[in-house]
Structure 1
Amino acid sequence: MTWQFEHVTLGQRVRFGTGTAATDLAAEVSRLGARRVMLISGEPVAAEVTAGIDVAVHCTDVAPHVPVENAERARALAADADLLVSVGGGSTTGLAKAVALTTGLPIVAVPTTYAGSEATNVWGLTEASRKTTGSDNRVLPVTVIYDTALTATLPRSLAVASGCNALAHCVDSMWAPRTDPINQALALEGIRALSTGLRQDAREQLLYGAYLAAVAFASAGSGLHHKICHVLGGAYNLPHAETHTAVLPHVLAFNAVAVPEAATRIRDALGGSLLDLYAEIGASPVLRGVPDVREAAALILPSVPPSNPRAVTEDDLIALLTTAQNGAPQA
């Protein structure tokens, strides 16, 4: 085998521990020399996390898929800030990114789920039921603070959906537009950690796997799975993690026939089939909330990556979404 590729790893500080978020955050605020911190969070735990710093302004205007109007209000609040601190899941990190995109303010992200947005330079905004995404290094948090204690109160159903969302980052990274052996290795180790964490409710493994998944995804880019889910989420205001969980087995089944070696590596890392893992942990492969699969397929088709390992037609998307609604992946 002869390899030829160009790999980019994004520069970012990571602090990982249990019960250390407040101490780690205070240290990062001091290191960055911030004087006017804007806290972005709608979670009660944010008060505990920020106990050791002074917060100049607090924005709680967090919503799924980051509506443009929410972003504009948050940007106005950030007029005098010199640092953004986000405490929460993917929607919270996403709002901080929307502010950083236009202000250039640095972000310290403190995740409370396994969304992975904190480790990517990808942003997303929704307007008039259409979600626009892009990449910009201004939105990459300068520091991520992982604290397993912050995930301890996640309801099991949300932890499962969030963990499966992280799995989707890994699977998509195996054949995304910029995939290479380095991010495939990260993705496969991420799958191993996440599948173990999901089976055993091992929060350290889940956070570790979620970070690896996001790093791989940031390098490899958005594949077919993420293009489908971004369009569906924006068009029908679907819950992010649950939608990724439902769609993943169907995209994996669709692409597996074209890349059997990658599919085998994914299965080996999972320790079995994805559907067997879903049955074991109580994850649902059933897509809900899409009223018209033909309309949805037409919206998705222009976003399909030309590099997808299998050619995708509108009829393919209709079939994929239909089987997703029924919960039975295509052969």
Structure 2
Amino acid sequence: MKDVKNFLDFSYETRPTRVVLRPGAATSATAGEAERLGLRRLLVVCGSQGADTARAVADSLGPACAGLHAGARMHVPVEVADRAVEVARAAGADGCVAVGGGSAIGLGKAIALRTGLPLIAVPTTYSGSEATSVWGLTEHGVKRTGRDPTVLPRSVVYDPELTLSLPVPLSVTSGVNAIAHAVEALYAPDTSPLIALMAEEGVRAMARALPEVADDPESLQARGRALYGAWLCGSCLEATTMGLHHKLCHVLGGTFGLPHSETHTVVLPYALAYNAPAAPDAAAAVARALDAEDAPRALWELAGRLGAPRSLAELGLSRPDLAEAAARTVGEVFANPRSVTADDVLALLRAAYAGEAPGAGVSGTAQ
């Protein structure tokens, strides 16, 4: 970062999370992490698709496993969180192990938020949620998010073997979702030189790992590098304030039910193109990490090369929804390097809906 003021006036706070990364760690290290935390009755939570993996983790806990709850759902509907809290209390759990992607970890966070139970995260995707104290709940079509140190996992167990079965398309969108965390951290009002280093390295690591994963999905080295990138990017999100990109994706997911990582993948190039004029150093850092001249275009091209969706139309959003999404987004309160109006967001959404190259139609004037 070029502005010397950023080196003379910043704050950075770290929170206590232990990270374990190695093949086989899910079943060889999780029980030890629980013991280190003094936990003896753990509820394991997951989604229906990840139940087999979660069962293996639950079995590895032995008598410390108080039950398995496979009720996680995307965007954490409040009724799903309510049910999980009931299960945790009925089981007499003194801790929770969330096994899976952002939905499972989000449910684990909801339990921690309501009960104060310590959380261990065993991620199976690259979303980076495990590195943050950000929680989210969806009620009546509105996704609310917040921060609470209670929901930050006490331990994160990264096992590249768990991601071998993650389909390449989901691996790609999950990885770009992680990149989005780092991109927004670079221009957040509370960024710092430390975050800038982590964010640029996180983008670089993930952007290099994803093509390797696509070429050889069985590569533990590539899968491990992607998890390393996910932790870096998630840690950047934990330390900074979310901007236009994340707020827009929360509206598209919580209100219109769009899939989480795919939505981040589509929106990110357009959000960065919109903010780049007001955050040139951030855009330059992303470009360096991608070994490119034009960061938004490079992100868009990366998604295209790897077969990821590049338009909101592909995700099922209808054209009449664009105006409502724009209005809901500007109704949120969030920090952003460039001021935002409903017309600005509508122009961005129209470009993202069409899937056109970022830059055209994202200048801030609705088309």
Q: TM-score range by the shorter chain?
A: over 0.9
What TM-score comes out, normalization by structure 1 length? 0.97
Whether the 8 Å CA contact 1:183–1:217 is kept in 2: the answer is no
Contact 1:169–1:217 (CA<8 Å) still a contact in 2?
yes
Q: Which residue of 2 is the match for residue 47 of structure 1?
A: 55
- Corresponding residue to 1:118 among 115, 120, 130: 130
Between the aligned partners of 1:197 and 1:327, the Cα distance in structure 2 is 24
1:4 counterpart = 2:9: yes
Q: Count how many residue pairs are aligned between Structure 1 and Structure 2.
A: 330
Q: Who is 1:63 aligned against? A: 73
Q: Which moved more, 1:169-178 or 1:201-210?
A: 169-178
- How far has the Cα of 1:129 moved from its partner? 0.2
Question: Which residues of 2 match residues 69-88 of structure 1 at below 5 A?
Answer: 69-79=79-89, 80-88=92-100
User: Structure 2: which 5+ residue stretches go unaligned?
Assistant: 214-221, 293-297, 361-367
Say if 1:124 and 1:133, in contact at 8 Å, map to a contact too: yes
Aligned residue number for residue 278 of structure 1 = 303
1:260 maps onto 2:277 in alignment: no
Query: What is the RMSD computed on CA atoms of the aligned residues?
Result: 1.2
Any gaps of 5 or more consecutive residues in structure 1? none
Q: Distance in 1 between matches of 2:53 and 2:67?
A: 16
- Name the CA distance, whole Å, in 2 between partners of 1:265 and 1:32: 38
CA contact (8 A) 2:269 2:300 kept: yes
Which residue does 1:165 correspond to in 2? 177
1:123-272 matched pairs, under 5 angstroms: 123-201=135-213, 202-272=222-292
CA deviations over 1:181-220 (Å, ceiling 9, x no partner): 2112111000010011012111111100000000011101
Contact 2:189 2:337 in 1 (8 A): no
Worse-superposed segment, 127-136 or 37-46: 37-46
Q: Which amino acid aligns with 2:349?
A: L
Matched residues in 2 for 1:262 and 1:22: separation? 39
Contact (CA 8 Å) 1:40, 1:59: kept in 2 or not?
yes
Q: Which runs of 4+ in 1 moved over 4 A?
A: none
Determine the structure 1 residue equivalent to 2:295: none
Displacement after TM superposition at 1:236 (Å)? 0.6
| Bigger shift: residues 46-55 or 65-74 | 46-55
**8 Å Cα contact 1:286-1:327 kept in structure 2:** yes
After TM superposition, give the deviation of residue 290 of structure 1 in Å: 2.8
1:315 lines up with 2:340 in the alignment: no
Q: Is the 8 A contact 1:170 1:213 kept in 2?
A: yes
Which segment is superposed worse, 252-261 or 140-149?
252-261
| CA distance in structure 2 between the aligned counterparts of 1:111 and 1:67, rounded to whole angstroms | 20
Instruction: Choose from 324, 332, 340 the match for 1:295.
Output: 324
Partners of 1:16 and 1:146 within 8 A in 2: yes
More off after superposition, 229-238 vs 42-51:
42-51
Q: Quick check: 2:252–2:258 contact (8 Å CA) kept in 1? A: yes
On the 8 A contact 2:81/2:111 being kept in 1, the answer is: yes
CA contact (8 A) 1:304 1:312 kept: no
Whole-angstrom distance in 2 between the partners of 1:261 and 1:176: 12
Moved more, 53-62 or 225-234: 53-62
For 2:205 and 2:333, locate their aligned partners in 1 and report how far apart those are by CA, in whole Å.
Answer: 29
Q: Tell me the percent identity.
A: 48
The letter for the 2-side match of 1:279 is G
How far the C-alpha of 1:261 sits from its partner, in A, is 2.3
1:229 CA displacement:
0.4
